[in-house]
């Protein structure tokens, strides 16, 4: 058997015998994100996108965005988001180390939040929230351009 064929056989055997990926060192796999029912999220940094005559631009600034996800049921792909304008249904999807929330508003914008199975030093979970929206008129306190927020969520 030639060296190339022998290497292919060993690689195939290795794939067959090692069907489950190894655990990441120091981080046991768990179903934490699949079983969480309520998350309170706060985002303290924001990146705002826009377009000018010379192309796309982004501005980074502090933020005070906060909202909660309640009645989270990843098995049924459902949750409610509770923010300053009330409660709205969202899609919830748990995949691996990620819990995604997707909301398409009736007016057209898409909002998404991803919670990562990565803890901050105080035990909260890292999170990012994105808003895909564009309005001709910009109003302070309202989303009118694409935005991305960085923060954390806490199980409640």
pLDDT at 76 over 50: yes
With respect to residue 12, please indicate whether it lies within any of the assigned structural domains: no
**Global confidence as pTM:** 0.77
Identify whether 13 is part of a domain.
no
Is residue 11 in some structural domain?
no
> Beta-carbon neighbour count of residue 2 at 10 Å?
7
Farthest-apart Cα atoms in the chain, separation: 72
> What pLDDT shows up at residue 15?
42
Residue 43 lies in a domain: yes
| Residue 119 domain flag | yes
E strand or H helix that includes residue 124: none
* Contacting residues for 14 by C-beta, under 8 A, at least 6 apart: none
**Banded pLDDT at 77 (limits 50, 70, 90):** very high
98 closest CA partner among 114, 83, 110: 114
| C-alpha pair distances (Å), 119 with each of 115, 124, 153 | 10, 5, 9
Domain that holds residue 107: 25-155
The answer to whether position 106 is within a domain reads: yes
CA nearest to 92, candidates 147, 156, 37? 37
How much is the average pLDDT of 107-123? 93
Number of domains the chain contains: 1
In a domain, 65, yes or no: yes
State the average pLDDT over residues 13-19: 41
Tell me, yes or no, whether 93 lies in a domain. Answer: yes
| Average predicted confidence (pLDDT) for the chain | 82
């Amino acid at each position: 058997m030639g060296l190339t064929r022998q290497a292919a056989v060993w690689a195939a055997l290795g794939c067959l015998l090692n069907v489950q990926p190894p655990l990441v060192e120091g981080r046991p796999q768990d179903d934490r994100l699949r079983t969480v029912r309520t998350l309170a999220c706060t985002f303290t940094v924001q990146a705002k996108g826009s377009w000018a005559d010379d192309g796309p631009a982004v501005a980074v600034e502090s933020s005070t965005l906060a909202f909660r996800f309640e009645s989270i049921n990843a098995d049924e792909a459902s949750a409610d988001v509770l923010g300053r304008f009330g409660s709205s249904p969202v899609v919830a999807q748990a995949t691996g180390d990620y819990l995604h929330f997707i909301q398409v508003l009736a007016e057209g914008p898409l909002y998404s939040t991803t919670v990562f199975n990565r803890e901050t030093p105080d035990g909260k979970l890292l999170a990012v929230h994105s808003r895909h929206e564009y309005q001709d008129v910009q109003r302070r306190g309202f989303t009118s351009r694409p935005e991305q927020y960085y923060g954390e969520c806490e199980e409640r």
